Structure 1
């Protein structure tokens, strides 16, 4: 079976996220890295693209050049990944969707709710795939959590507790570091800093695992380093569509925390706990029974977990493997469309444009609630109310 053709915008030399995408997309031999506009400096982007194996005529100087060039080709790319600065996501994603390409966009998908709704409508109208890279949903045991909840192992879900807290921006002396400063500048980051950067990953995972959407929320947002205009710590309470209660803490000043993405789900018949820094174990406590440790790769897991397991039991699972599962899902979805067949249900788990829109609506809801001393606000996008 010939490999699908993949292109990337952004993610150039020195990028934090670019290598994870290139590793993830190529891991299963389903995609061939064919085209790219990898740097905001055209010559540097072309040179770096050629250096890492792109054909010279498909190492582009910018995304406009790539869109024009790929649109003219009979062998144009099947999927474009957008890994550029946040403020550019909307126009690039919109441009490629309109031109008939499938897109995987880094989060946040857009900077406003209105832009998000436009992307959702455009994906629906064109029939093109628009995915958003909430890559942590690619971990095999996160998918097993989702399967356990769906088949009723926990009974009705009562409470979800999500965290994404780290301490890497805790040094006040680092306030003028350009790599840090922009994140707390409304002109560059928008209405939210820490919640928009990390909190939405935890919020998406809460919805992904429970199958419920966030309907309303109340937020307490603070700038613990006083020079920052946007929050570096937030506590968010939320209510979900099937009655679950949610608690979410996100922080960038929690010294001693490294990554900090953790999800706990509590139902009538049991509870689950998973943390991204120890992704090989899922802790399950059935009501009135002993604690069970579910190991990634063991027998008798769900089809969703089995499909997402890459290495044998006892070996470490990493972020690029989770990204690879998103790309494997997308390859299945693209091939299914080409072959006019249904998508494998165990693969139809990649985060979609609707997820990106719901996240952006939550960002604005948190910002509004935080400014109004925790007032409860509707967290749904207008088009989903």
Structure 2
């Protein structure tokens, strides 16, 4: 079976996210890295692309050049990943969707709710996939959590508790560090800093696992470092559309926390706990029984978990392999569309444009509620009300 062709915009030399995407896309042999516009500096992007193995005529200087170069080719790329600065996501994603390309966009998908609604409508109109890289939902045991909830192991879900707290921006002396400063500048980051950066990962994972979307929220946002305009810590109370209560804490000043993405789900018949820093173990406490530790790769897990694990039990699987599961899902979706068949249900888990839109609506809702001293506000985008 021939590989699908893949292209990337952004993620150039020195990028934090670029290598994870290239590892993830290539891991299962489903995609071939065929084209790229990897840097905002045209010559640096062309040079780096060729060093990574791209042919000179498909190592482009910028995304517009890549669009023009690819759209007329018989062997055009099947999927384009957008891994550029946040404010450029909408324009690039929109242009490639309009020209018939499938897109995987880094989060946040857009900077405004209105832009997000435009992308959702455009994806529906063109019939092209627009996925959003909430890559942590690619972890095998996160997918097993979702399967356990869906098949009723926990009964009705009462409460979900999500955290994404780290301490890497806790030093007030970093106020002039350009890699940190922009995140708290409304002109560059928008209406939210920490929640838009990390909190939406925790919120999306909670929604993904319990199969419900945030309906209302109340937020307490604060800048613990006085020089910052935008928040570096937020506590958010949520009500989901299926009746579940949500609690979400996100912080960038929690010294001693490293990555800090965790999820706990509590139902009528049991509770689950998973942490991204220990992704091979899922803690399961059935009501009235002893605590059980579910290991990634063990027998008799769900089809969703089995499909998304690659190495034997006891060996670590990390973030690039979680990304690889998103790419594997997308490859299956693209091939199913080409073949005119239904895709494998165990692969139908990649985050959609609708997820990106709901996240952006939540960002604006958190900012609004924070300014109004925690007043409860609607967390849904107008399109879904």
Q: TM-score, normalised by structure 1?
A: 1.00
Q: Corresponding residue for 1:314? A: 314
Distance 2:369 2:311 in 1: 43
Query: Aligned with 1:175: secondary structure?
Result: helix
- For residues 217-366 of structure 1, what are the structure 2 equivalents within 5 Å? 217-366=217-366
| 1-structure distance, mates of 2:107, 2:383 | 20
Partner of 1:197: 197
How many Å separate the matches in 2 of 1:291 and 1:71? 55
Aligned to 1:161: 161
Q: Hey, what does 2:5 align to over in structure 1?
A: 5
> Aligned residue for 1:216?
216
Alignment root-mean-square deviation, CA: 0.3
1:39 aligns with 2:39: yes
1:310, distance to aligned residue in structure 2 (A)? 1.1
Task: Give distance in 2, aligned partners of 1:187 and 1:310.
Answer: 42
- Looking at structure 2, the residues matched to 135 and 318 of structure 1 have their Cα atoms a distance apart, in angstroms, of 11
- In the TM superposition, residue 201 of structure 1 has moved relative to its aligned partner by 0.1
- 2:181 counterpart residue number: 181
Deviations 1:256-290 (A, max 9, x none): 00000000000000000000000000000000100
What displacement does 1:312 show?
A: 0.4
**CA-to-aligned-CA distance 1:146-195 (integer Å, 9 cap, x gap):** 00000000000000000000000000011110000000000000000000
Report the secondary structure of 1:111's partner residue.
coil
Q: Runs of 4 or more off by more than 2 Å in structure 1?
A: none
2:81 is paired with a residue whose SS is strand
| Cα deviations by residue, 1:194-228 (Å, 9 ceiling, x for unpaired) | 00000000000000000000000000000000000
Partner Cα separation in structure 2 for residue 36 and residue 81 of structure 1: 9
String of CA shifts for 1:117-146, please: whole Å, max 9, x gaps: 000000000000000000000000000000
- How many Å apart are 1:72 and its aligned residue? 1.2
Contiguous gaps of at least 5 residues in structure 2 = none
Unaligned 5+ residue runs, structure 1? none
Determine helix, strand or coil for the equivalent of 2:365. Answer: helix
Rounded to whole Å, the distance in 2 between the matches of 1:121 and 1:328 is: 25
- Equivalent residue for 2:116? 116
Q: Distance in 2 between matches of 1:4 and 1:381?
A: 34
Task: Name the counterpart of 2:140.
Answer: 140
Q: How does 1:53-92 map to 2 (within 5 A)?
A: 53-92=53-92
Give the Cα–Cα distance (whole angstroms) in 1 for the partners of residues 311 and 376 of structure 2: 44
What pairs up with 1:368-379 in 2 under 5 angstroms?
368-379=368-379
Q: State the alpha-carbon separation in 2 of the partners of residues 164 and 296 from structure 1.
A: 22
CA distance in 2, matches of 1:114, 1:343: 30
Partner secondary structure for residue 143 of structure 2? helix
SS in 2 for 1:131: strand
C-alpha separation between the residues in 2 aligned to 1:16 and 1:168? 15
Distance in 1 (CA, whole Å) between partners of 2:311 and 2:217 is: 39
